Amino acid sequence: MKLEREAIAHYLDTKFNPKIAQAAQAEFEIIGDDIEEMSVELNSDTEQIKNILGQTRTRDNGYSPSMDADPFYADPDKKLYPMLRDIAMNRLKGDACKTLMLEVIVEDTAAENHRAWLREVMVKPQSYGGDTAGFNIPFTVSEDGESQEGYVSAESMKGGSPTFTKGAVPGIGG
Q: What's the pTM value of the predicted model, to 2 decimals?
A: 0.92
* Residue type, position 162, single letter: P
Give DSSP secondary structure letters for 57-112: EEEEEEE--EEEE---B--TTSSSHHHHHHHHHTT--GGGGEEEEEEEE-S-TT-S
pLDDT tens-digit profile of 62-106? 999 999 999 999 999 999 999 999 999 999 999 999 999 999 999
Close Cβ partners of 95 (under 8 Å, ≥ 6 residues apart): 18
pLDDT at position 122, please? 98
Q: Which residues of the chain are under the pLDDT cut of 50?
A: none
Would you kindly state where each structural domain of the chain is located, as residue ranges?
5-37+65-166
d(CA 29, CA 159) in angstroms, rounded, equals: 11
Q: Is 121:98 a contact under the CB 8 Å cutoff?
A: yes
